[in-house]
Amino acid sequence: MEDSTRFTRRSLLGIFAATAVVAAPHYANAFSIRRGAGDFRRMKLYSGRTGERLDTIYWIDGEYIPEALDDINRFFRDWRNNHVHRIDTRTLDLMTAAHRLLNVDEPYMLLSGYRSPETNAMLRQRSRNVARNSRHTVGQAGDVRLRTRSVAQMARAAIACNAGGVGRYSRSDFVHMDCGPVRSWGS
Q: What is the pLDDT of residues 24-46, one digit of tens each?
A: 333 333 333 344 456 999 999 99
Q: CB–CB of 144/75 below 8 Å?
A: no
* Rounded Cα distance, 29 and 27, in Å: 6
Give the CATH fold of the 9-186 domain. Muramoyl-pentapeptide Carboxypeptidase; domain 2 (3.30.1380)
Is residue 106 predicted with pLDDT exceeding 80? yes
* Rounded Cα distance, 185 and 120, in Å: 20
Is residue 4 predicted with pLDDT exceeding 80? no
pLDDT tens digit sequence for 42-99: 999 999 889 999 999 999 999 999 999 999 999 999 999 999 999 999 999 999 999 9
Number of Cβ within 10 Å of residue 103's Cβ equals 9
Is residue 148 predicted with pLDDT exceeding 70? yes
Is residue 16 predicted with pLDDT exceeding 60? no
Separation of CA 121 from chain center: 23
pTM of the model: 0.78
Domain locations in the chain? 9-186
Separation of CA 17 from chain center: 18
